[in-house]
């Protein structure tokens, strides 16, 4: 495990904390501490290898946006866009991805909805834009919401619920980044 991996987790923890995701920030700091301890261990052994493997596995698609992990999550989005081309893909498949505890799977579900909005649900969109998520995931949720609005897959009540789900975090400053804020404001327009 290199110092850059430890540093990346610490920077990710700071980013997560600024985004209001204290749970993710704590997890990343714990991983950095574990990796530091493992790096100081004089003899590499199965425990050290397992800790490194587990930390790397957990970090694969779920790392917070920023500092190289944005590109990892962007590759998940690209894969989701390609996967959306499969005609056999069903709404239930996307619901399972979107309901996962794994950020990479949730982001993939949102990427599929961006290309095939009919496979999404109001519950998925509301959770993506108003739940405690990374800045990257919220942005992908807003893009998916825009696709659903443009495709007219939401009825009037669902559209009102989506707008309310966007209005609250936007007013509280939990939607970050110029592009995301602009997209959120567009979605609030009648």
Q: What number of other Cβ atoms are within 10 A of residue 103's Cβ?
A: 21
Per the confidence metrics, is the pTM higher than 0.85? no
Listed in sequence order, the residues at least 6 apart from 158 whose beta carbon sits closer than 8 Å to its beta carbon are 122
pLDDT tens for the 190 residues of the chain, in order: 456 777 787 788 788 788 888 788 777 776 766 666 555 444 433 333 333 333 333 443 344 444 456 778 888 999 999 999 999 999 999 999 999 999 999 999 999 999 999 999 999 999 999 986 789 999 999 999 999 999 999 999 999 999 999 999 999 998 989 999 999 999 999 8
CB contact at 8 A, 110 and 152: no
**Closest-CA residue to 77 (of 89, 87, 65, 88):** 65
Write the CB contacts of 57 (distance below 8 Å, at least 6 apart in sequence). Answer: none
- What is the end-to-end Cα distance of the chain in Å, rounded? 51
């Amino acid at each position: 495990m290199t110092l850059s991996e430890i540093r990346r987790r610490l920077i990710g923890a700071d980013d997560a904390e600024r985004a209001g995701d204290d749970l993710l920030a704590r997890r990343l700091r714990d991983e950095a501490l574990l990796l530091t301890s493992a790096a100081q261990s004089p003899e590499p052994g199965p425990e050290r290898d397992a800790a490194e493997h587990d930390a790397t596995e957990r970090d694969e698609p779920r790392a917070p946006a920023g500092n190289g992990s944005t590109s990892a999550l962007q590759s998940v989005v690209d894969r989701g866009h390609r996967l959306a081309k499969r005609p056999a893909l069903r709404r239930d498949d996307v619901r399972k991805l979107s309901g996962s505890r794994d950020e990479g799977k949730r982001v993939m579900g949102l990427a599929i909805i961006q290309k095939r909005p009919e496979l999404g649900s109001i519950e998925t969109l509301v959770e993506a834009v108003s739940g405690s998520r990374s800045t990257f995931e919220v942005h992908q949720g807003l893009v998916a919401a825009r696709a659903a609005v443009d495709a007219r897959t939401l009825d009037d009540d669902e559209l009102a619920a989506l707008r309310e789900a966007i209005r609250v975090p936007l007013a509280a400053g939990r939607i970050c980044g110029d592009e995301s804020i602009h997209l959120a404001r567009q979605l609030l327009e009648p």
